[in-house]
Amino acid sequence: MISYFTTSNGKLVRQDEPSAGCWISVVSPTSQEVAELIDTYGLDSGFVKSSLDEEESSRIEREDDQTLIIIDTPVSTVDDDKTRNFYTQPMGIIITNEYVFTITLNEMQVIREASHGRIRNLQTNFRTRFVLQLLLRIAALFLLYLKQIDKISSAAEQELHGAMKNELLMQLLALEKSLVYFSTSLKANEATIEKIFRGRVIKLYDEDQDLIEDVLIEMKQAIEMSSIYTEILSGMMDGFSSIISNNLNMVMWRLTLITIILQIPNIIFAFYGINTADLPLPYTWFAIMLAVCLTGITAFVLMKWKRK
């Protein structure tokens, strides 16, 4: 789907046809729309294909009068079992002399927010500043999702103290995997933004310097948070795998204790069930009393030994 947006009276407005200085949002394009981008707007076919490649890494590239920025964007989804997953997907930004294109394989949070006017002060006619504002929002989304990961791991920590199943441990493993994705993407994004910061690929104006510095600061902060959360989560998984193992050992101890205690009456009643006259006091009441006393003594001794 191809959508056109322009800034009017300080607000982002959708329009039916493109105009000079507008933002063209391309989400999940069909083959016909891809051909339109290449033929009608003259976009480099390699740039368009790279923007739609899920495996593409973050980078910046210039070809003639077009500049391609591939930036990894955080994505959050919820599975059928209500497990929240975090990963990254590349988003292509192509800057031409007239337009700014954003090309994504799927609709992303930053595109949704921008198109609904949730990002303030977006000016499509200032192409460089528009791109930097998108990058700043992407960095903010990384920080937001990292905080969500921390909250989820903290909630899982409270539930793991008495856990004996692997579901929570698997959830922590998924979070650790998400942090690895985030850390790798953030480092690649940082390298791309530093290239923009040098001003060799995209011309930066004086009023853009503070904005690009903010983007770099946010990215570095997200990288640091990701590294810290990864170390914490790794330690938590090691600790709680031992806790789960200890909980299972306690259950096995209780089952063994119950089995030993229940065997005593069976042994006594088995002896007194033998058809012989040589057993002492061959009376039902004696066998029951002996079984109860020996069972109580054994249970007391085993519980006393367990406390030691």
Query: What does the DSSP 8-state code read for residue 47?
Result: H
Confirm whether pTM is higher than 0.95.
Answer: no
> What's the Cα-to-Cα distance from 238 to each of 157, 173, 231, 234, rounded to whole Å?
12, 11, 11, 6
Mean per-residue pLDDT pooled into runs of 10, the chain (308 residues): 85 84 88 88 87 87 87 85 82 89 89 84 84 90 90 76 63 83 90 84 79 89 88 74 72 78 77 66 70 78 64
Q: Do residues 92 and 104 make contact, with C-beta atoms less than 8 angstroms apart?
A: yes
218-237: burial string, b at 16+ Cβ within 10 Å, e else: bbeebbebbeebbebbeebb
- pLDDT attached to residue 276: 62
Which three-class secondary structure state does DSSP give residue 102? Answer: strand
Q: Do residues 157 and 235 make contact, with C-beta atoms less than 8 angstroms apart?
A: no
Dihedral angle computed from the Cα positions of residues 67, 106, 177 and 156, in that order, rounded to the nearest 10 degrees: 130
Q: How far apart are CA 48 and CA 51, in angstroms?
A: 5
- pLDDT attached to residue 201: 76
- pLDDT attached to residue 144: 92
